[in-house]
Amino acid sequence: MIKTFTRNDLIRYIYQETTKEENTEIENALIFDEALCDELGDLQLTVNGLGRIERSPSKGSIDKILSYSKYYNMNAVN
């Protein structure tokens, strides 16, 4: 019987969250299913790209925080 694998199965496989039995089933399916192999490749590229994303707040967010801080300091009770 041929098992159908979902994106979630492939993501779990990429993150090594599958069992040895699941790994064997997925790896066997990859041999015969080109679409599944392509899907795994696309997901792997996405996962690899996640590590290169730089996260920083926008200038607008920083300005709002600084404005709030300035307002709070001017109105603070001593």
pLDDT, one tens digit per residue, over 29-63 is: 999 999 999 999 999 999 998 877 778 889 999 99
Whether residue 78 is predicted with pLDDT greater than 90 in this model: the reply is no
Sorted by where each begins, the domain ranges of the chain are 7-74
Contact 22, 13 (CB under 8 A): yes
What is the pTM (predicted TM-score) of this model?
A: 0.65
Alpha-carbon distance of 16 to 39, in angstroms, equals 17
Mean pLDDT (the chain) is 90
The residue type at 9: D
